[in-house]
Amino acid sequence: MYRQSYSKRDGGIGSCPECGGRIVSECEVVCRDCGVVLDASPTDRRPRPTRPQARDGGRATGAPLTPVHANRRLSSYIGRRRDARGSPVSPRARRQLERQRTQQRRAARGANKQTLQPGLAEIARVCAALEATTTVRESASVLFRQALAENLLYGRAYESIAGATVYLGARRARFVRTLTEVASVSRCPNNSVRRDVRFLQRELAITAGPISPVAYLPRLQSTLGVDDRLLRQSRQLLGVVTERNLHSGRDPKGVAAGAVYTVARLEGGKTMLSQREVATAADVTAETVRTRFDEFEPLCPDVNDRDGTRTPSSTGAHGSGDTQTADGD
């Protein structure tokens, strides 16, 4: 291996000790003319891109920025008694590092950042308790930063705002979690989280469309322990409900619960479910399930025509009398 000096810059110009040709440094330091290898394992000093192209036209390096951290993962750690190599620093250098830590601490603890740090930590805790995805946590963190920038946290608990942003982030990401579930793991009562959800929607002009009733079916199946056949028929019934526009203006949880209860009621047998069981699993009232049953029961012949099977009639209808199901004949 040659020990002569040469330029190690990318594409740098140097002279080859063999032929005097131009030296280039890519994966290896080689001569472009004769091909002699001068250094087989050089240090790659080129920037490593983390995304295809930066906004300013240059290459981006380092870890990607993320809104889930208060400093967006840009902070640096200043040691106390040892440097980066592990060697002890002199007393003069220690005093200088202490002054630098003080300035960094002051810069990181502004008026808004004192609330930002615990707020993002609360969002992380709630998302972990709900087993939410990274997308939900990032969306909630962005909403919390927007609320903080608009000075919307004055007079309100940051725990309640954090719970509201998690719920809105879940709605944006189509992650099925009810407001009661979010409030149950939050440090604020349900009414406070619900109030702040409406407050953020109004002040930040957040438009989060309702979740489809079909998205609640897997959760109801898991909670109630029903089989796949009942779930498939419930999905077909919801398709007819959507075509008739009977889901408009109604809680999607109640629509899904009504579909599951209707199919289970008409099937009978081991799949028989009570209104209270379905209402508890869907976080709605039993009256909502009963009302949806009255609306969805006449649609069962259309479901039977699609499925190619007939739904057996059930006895013991809700209320006082028996309910005869339509067989589509």
Give CB contacts under 8 A, 24+ apart, made by 226-230.
226/260, 226/264, 226/271, 226/273, 227/271, 230/260, 230/263, 230/264, 230/267, 230/271
Is 157 exposed, middle or buried (CB count within 10 Å of its CB: 0-12, 13-18, 19+)? Answer: middle
Q: State the pLDDT at residue 317.
A: 40
Task: Judge if 274 and 227 occupy the same domain.
Answer: yes
In a domain, 298, yes or no: yes
In a domain, 257, yes or no: yes
Same domain, 199 and 218: no
Mean model confidence pLDDT for the chain: 78
Is 16 a member of any domain? yes
Entry pTM: 0.64
Does residue 326 lie within any of the structural domains? no
- 217 and 199 together in one domain: no
Q: Assess whether pLDDT exceeds 70 at residue 239.
A: yes
Mean pLDDT of 183-195: 92
The domain total for the chain is: 3
pLDDT at 90: 86
Q: How confident is the model at residue 5 (pLDDT cuts 50, 70, 90)?
A: very low
pLDDT value of position 112:
64
60-64, 122-126, 252-256: the lowest-pLDDT one:
60-64
Distance CA 327, CA 164 (A): 46
Structural domain containing residue 20: 1-43
- The answer to the question of residue 53 being in a domain is no
Q: Please name the residue that has the structure tokens 């930040």.
A: 204
H or E segment at 30?
strand 29-31
CA pair distance 148, 165, nearest whole angstrom: 12
Domain finish residue from 155, 175, 203: 203
Do 196 and 230 belong to one domain?
no
Q: What is the pLDDT of residues 209-238, one digit of tens each?
A: 778 889 889 888 888 888 888 889 899 999
pLDDT for 104: 75
Tell me the C-alpha distance between 9 and 12, whole Å.
5
> What CATH number does residue 120 fall under?
1.10.472.10
What pLDDT was estimated at residue 74?
A: 63
- In a 3-state reduction of DSSP, which class is residue 38? strand
* Contact status, residue 88 vs residue 81, Cβ threshold 8 Å: yes
Q: Which long-range contacts (CB under 8 A, 24 or more apart) does 274-280 make?
A: 275/318, 277/224, 278/220, 278/224
Per-residue pLDDT, 78: 74
Does 48 map to a domain?
no
* Residue 178 within a domain: yes
Mean pLDDT of 110-133: 86
pLDDT of residue 101: 83
